[in-house]
Structure 1
Amino acid sequence: QEGGDKSEDELKSLSQAPAMETLGSPENSPEERLPPEGSRLRATAWRVLMNALLFSLLLASSVLLVYAFRNCGPGACQRQVCWDLRALYLASGNSSVDPCTDFFSFVCGKTNRSSDSFQALAEENKSQLRRILEAQGSWRPGSGEEKAFQFYSSCMDTHTIEASGTGPLKQVIEELGGWRISGNWTSLDFNQTLRLLMSQYGHFPFFRAYLEPHEITSHTPVIQIDPPEFDVPLQQEQEQKVDAQIFREYLKYLNQLGNLLGGDPVKVQEHASLSISITSRLFRFRRPLEKQQAQGKVDQMVTIDQLQEMAPAIDWLSCLQATFTPMSLSPSQPLMVHDLEYLKNMSQLVEELVLTHRDFLQSHMILGLVGTLSPALDSKFQNARRELRQKLRELTEQPPMPARPRWMKCVEETGTFFEPTLAALFVQEAFGPRTQSAAMKLFMAIKNALITHLRSLPWMNEETREKAQNKVTQLQVEMGAPEWALKPEPTRQEYNDIQLGPSFLQSFLSCVRALQARTVQSFLQPFPNHRWKVSPWAVSAYYSVPDHVVVFPAGLLQPPFFHPGYPRAVNFGAVGSIMARELSQVFYELLLPEDCPDCSPRALQRELLCLEHHYASFQSPDRSFFNGSRRFLENAADVGALTIALQAYRESLLRHYGETILPSLELSPQQIFFQSYAQVMCSRPSSQDSNHTHSPAPLRVHGPVSSTSMFAQHFSCPRGALLNPASRCQIW
């Protein structure tokens, strides 16, 4: 209570104190209850301020929402490589063409280059090698790097080569015993001359002999014997009139060679004519591949002893031993012979000529050698050979070959002879760890997409599907370069067996001999890994059946096909589809019903027929849609490559945030994917080889893109358009 009384006293005291007037007080009049004028102004200003602030907040929110909506999509890649790629796409594409009816022209319509996309990339890689070889650097005296740079420099020194004239070449001819064309000839034993040509000069006038990995055990070498490569482009079914014109041009060329070497014009004409006769007879000895296949005699394994009995004019053991030193050969050494009947007939011809026209046989071999050595001779010999090739291309209705600059020839020769050194330097320059890591991640994404995709193929039963998935899982990959070239330091290859100078021809021949010995030695050394078939700067990927490994050289993993800074759509569309295509070759045998007994035959046959009809709906420049089972397999691989690469790209979008696009190109990421796929195929129709197993470039684009509904969806193609058919196949 005491507390309550105190509260009442406090309330009384508060009521007696000067009171604060309140608006709701009943004692105040209406006028007294109004706020003063300043208070009303402040209240109005406050309301205006609050409204303005609210409006500003709403406006800012709207701007932020618009900005967010505009930027929630992919941003533009602003790296220089992306701008360069954009420029390439704009330079090659023709945006006036409807992509739904002619996507090839939409992407490649302005391509005026004489080469295709792969050739353009190969030339760019050679330019990269040129920059390396022409860069100023200090190398350890006698090192492989120094010799490679010296060889390239001497190749480019045309003034010294021209000043040497025919002297170095005449010296070579004298070492071989000379020839009657010049009046000085020492009749050496035929097999002695042949042995020198094969082992010291890398020239094989009557047959080719080289080492190859064994078909089954790839780490075991086998000596392969093939018919020779002829300078004249003869065909078995060619018209006699065309043959006569070809031989006329070739005779003119051989006469030029003899005259350049100071021969008597009458003797030159006589010896050149008989040389052509020898070439013609050798060519007729060759049997068409179809005939060999029908007889089951394409490649036959024989021993040196057995071949000696069947083709006795050649001292096989002596010639092969000299060529493949330091291999130790014996009469029981097995050989793989391609076209044994040719070798038998060739031997009879040689025996005949040794008895009746040994001097003409000598001239035939030397004239062939001059052609082989032409890259190392002066401009007169090179011009004569270039004119011959251009004329022969005209006669065989092939497009003319563009003139190649001197530096490109020198880069190629240096790369051939000093590949280990240049490989290491190229990889250091063009295939760093970031590029290697990005390429490997791309491959793994493609590989995983293929394994997943195999589950949805209707023509595979469970047993076949499991085998196929295991095969992909066990597949090995080699990326960029062989292991030795990926080391931090350039390979310390000394090349002690190469002696440069005093003339470029002598340097060239020293490199020929060293390369041959190095090749043989590499086959004799233990080689646990896959032996590469291409240089690291090459642009050709491949699948090795014996080693079950796919190879993607560093030269392929370059702009405009690949770069770590590109939008993922570019890399998946270009190199990703190339990777998927090589993987699809693992299953070539499954696509032929007779080779896949565990497949569902009815479902597979239905899809095969569907694909054939699908491709037949397009007009092909050569009017050939399949051209046998090989072209069919290539068409199926093209479809599979795009399907797998597209699936891998779509899966990458789900796993990774932040896709980009090319700047100022108005293409979505998915459209860029298809654009990059087609860009790889860009080429002029005239560059298509009619005998090539691939379909023409437009068909290689239209066939696959029309096989997926995603293309039509992202380019808004109307139903029934050429590239948006009513139904699609599911071979892949």
Structure 2
Amino acid sequence: APPCLSAACDWASARLSAAVDPFAQPCDYFLFTCGANNVTADNRGHPQNRSGRSTLEDAPRGGGAGGRRGSLLQNLRQILAALQNTRTFYSSCLDTGSVETAGVEPFLSLIQEQLGGWAVSGQWVRPEFNSTLGVLMRDYATFPFFRVYVDTDPEDVHGLSKRYIQIDQPDLLIPIEWNNETKRSQVETQTLRPFLSTCQRYLTLLGAPDDKSLHHVGHFLSLSSELAVAASPPRYRLSKGQLYQRMSIRDLQLQAPDIDWLGCLQTTFEPLNITEDDQVFVHNLPFMVNMSLIVRKWKNKPENSNDPLQTFMVLNLLHTMMPALDSRFPRWQRCVTETEKGFSPVLTHLLSQGAAHREAQEIIQDIFSAFLSVTPRLLGNRLLFPMGLFVPPLFHPTYPAMNYGVVGFLVAKDLLHLLLPNGGCVWTHYLTVTDRAGGAGGGGGAALTAAQQQELWVQYTALQTALQAYQLNLETRPEDTSISGLSYTRLFLSSFSQMNCDSDPHHESMPLQPSFLITVFCAGSDLCPSDLRCPRN
């Protein structure tokens, strides 16, 4: 196999070179075991050097336990930094003193400097519609004409949890009701009157002259009402099959051409590479079509030199920014909600960015295939594995052989513990195999408890299953590389031997080092690169 030259592979190579090689020293498992009390050993069962430090800790920086600890600590620092930012945001939301001092000036400056102003203030440059819309979506989580978020495909029967952009109708600011007889949304005049007076008061607080505020609010209500009539509740859209309509961004552009869909989505999800061929889920295509026509109509009205579309977007931004304004604008106790909305995606991303999800999913799927597609359920309909399992140096997308030797083994072992088979007859076979390996089983088998016998069977079977899964992976991805010049099988088994006794919740039931299983495995297989028999003494 060609050598892997990535930084991650260099770390993995250092880890391998600093640990005991089961093929160079195949009999060490007799001296150092997971539960040994009579041997001076570190927590991996490896002998310590004269300085008292384990040989693994002497590995170059980035390799071995130190490298893994460094990776986890770096990830933890980022998470804690994000948590601190979250606390700061929440505290500032509650800091009404600073808000009262600043007043509305920060909001007015934002409109003028970042959005090109608006007609209400009398100072504006008539900014480009789609450009302003993209900025509102990206920087202020404000969605005046349609709502955008990310979620999974509900019909994903394979459970791959691939995430897609979802495009839904917006949360309109005006109160609307659904008419079951006409099957249309409608606006009640009596509910609009208090909303109208509130909007006028807000415009006055923002510095709009009283004689002009009614004009701008009128356009805002007219545009809002047209959009409201095109909207419909989820239960109605579900009955019409209008939820989760999969389509490409190109097709959506053809259906609703007055929105620059690709540009707005690229701006919102920058720096992700989004193309017009990407698939999205649309939750009310008829609304999107009508909304596009409404935008076109209001763009082309000759009397609308004051650009009501811009005013509509700014008033939607005002609704988003309300918690940051002074007490004249109701804060609505939204600090917790806004903090969660703003920072939950960031924290989720930081928690998961260290895990190579596609490669982890491949390992799990291959392990399932090795069990005749048995899919256990531990938490609801999901099997939970900690994300700490999928970070370097034990796991990395550039060395599948090591991934399967460690993570693949752990996944297979956890599945076997869910199944909890009766290993009695297998233990008889196991003793026979160990006797052929050089008498390792001998009379010691009788001293093992039933739990220890079962754990031996579970770990041995998990090792076989993980190797079978890795061989399946090689058939579909033969481009796997080598580390330290080792063959695929030797790299797989060598990485398995690096298992940490303390990290295994079942280690108390495992009386032998993981490397002992390699000797037993190689005694009954022609896949191993060398003979691992030990002398009887």
Q: TM-score scaled to structure 2, two decimals?
A: 0.47
Larger helix fraction of residues: 1
Relative contact order, higher structure (CA 8 A, sep 6+): 2
| Max Rg structure | 1
Q: TM-score scaled to structure 1, two decimals?
A: 0.35
